[in-house]
Structure 1
Amino acid sequence: MELIKIEQRAIGDSQVQAINARVLHVFLEVGKDFATWIKDRIEQYGFLENQDFVTAPQNGGAVYKGGGHNRKDYHLTLDMAKELAMVERNEKGKQARQYFIECERRAKAIDPMAALADPAMMRGLLLTYSEKVLSLEAANAELAPKAAVVDRIVTAAEGTMNVTMAAKNLQVQPKVLFTWLSAHRWIYRRAGGTAWVAYQDKIQQGLLQHKITTVERTDGTEKVVEQVLVTAKGLAKLAGELGPICA
């Protein structure tokens, strides 16, 4: 039974399972109006456009909670949708999160090797593992925090991930990690640019990768998207240097 409609959509450089945020907003029975709610959540949790979600002018004539003109839709990855459901802390949120996890499980069951080739699915696996680690840490408070961080790094060592996902695995806010990386000369922005770029020495050390892809906009035009990826080696080094923050 389809509890919330899931569709394939281009987010970042991959076709991934996505949720219309307006549909999720209605299902969760959020008290705030949609525009305020989604903007607050994006700001509060550091979600990034073209990594965690994409936007598009609303169309199709569907009726959603709230009103107004010139509205736009937000299409969310399942990872972002799970987090939004979880932070609502109500029965609807729990129901939605369990539904998304089940949808991911079914998708992976169709092709168990797909997660190794699809960065988006890899991010989903890493987030799911992080949630399991958090549960284990809560159940066993005597575990050394450093050991828990190392455990996450070992499991995440299969591939690269974006900075937002790296922050989730390190258990720091994405904004904190972006600020730290910039201050310690891991990443920078070109003059007049908005995209983060990896410093060449960090690329040569195998700590970061700098990915450039071309994505198609909703109007059919194309744009170049630059993305910094953290390697397993980089994640391990960050865990050591951010030890007091990650603990």
Structure 2
Amino acid sequence: MKDLIQIKVVNDQQLVSARELYKGLDIKKRFSVWVNQNFKEFEENQDFTSVPEGTVVKSGNGTVRKYDDYFLTIDMAKQLCLMSRTEKGKQYRKYLIEVERKWNDPQEVVKRGYAILQNENTQLKLENKNLTVQLEESNKKASYLDVILGTPDALAITQIAADYGYGAVNFNKLLKQVGIQHKVNGQWILYKVYMGKGYVVSQAFTFKDHLGKDRSKTTTYWTQKGRKLIYDVLKDNDILPLIERDDIA
């Protein structure tokens, strides 16, 4: 049988366009008038649903217009065909009855059911895969945070830089680039927003210069809290420690 009207399937339900049916039935009155007169006996969101600007019409000069439409159930469409009391109405109703018969054929029902199960199975696999990836990422994060929490002593920047595959000089420059610290009188100092929050401690040490004289110098050491700050800020800049990088075996 020649297709008289397009059948759309939404949520395993067959639907037809009200405008397409209206056109096929060759209704003479305006579409809005036809809708107002004939849709009264039906329930919205059960027998039909509104589709704002659902029909696009392009004229010969290239102008595009969008018209409001409705999706009708097959039952409602058959009723409208009867209500038209025309030969076109009989023809379309007969076609819709055949469409419905094929839809309800046991073999077709089984096929649709199998397709739904296949789709649900695919979705489940994707969801499981996403959960697995999330879990792996979570475990990675936890492993590095465990390293931080498992080292209560303050650490020199050289040791932290090694976690990221950097040398101390370049890592200090990196921390400057991401807005954590800057250099003052030869010493790396936190920017004001991070000062006084327990991220670092300063420790002085003595040494002999090349002339054999005793000298002292203050060096910055990072606390657990400070290492967590570095981790969070660098992660926001897509920089991860080696333990969390996928490209590191």
TM above 0.5, yes or no, is no
Rg (Cα) greater in structure:
2
Report the TM-score range of the alignment, normalised by the length of the smaller protein: 0.3 to 0.5
| TM-score (normalised: structure 1) | 0.39
TM-score of the aligned structures, taking structure 2 as reference length: 0.39
Q: Name the structure, 1 or 2, with higher relative contact order (CA <8 Å, separation 6+).
A: 1
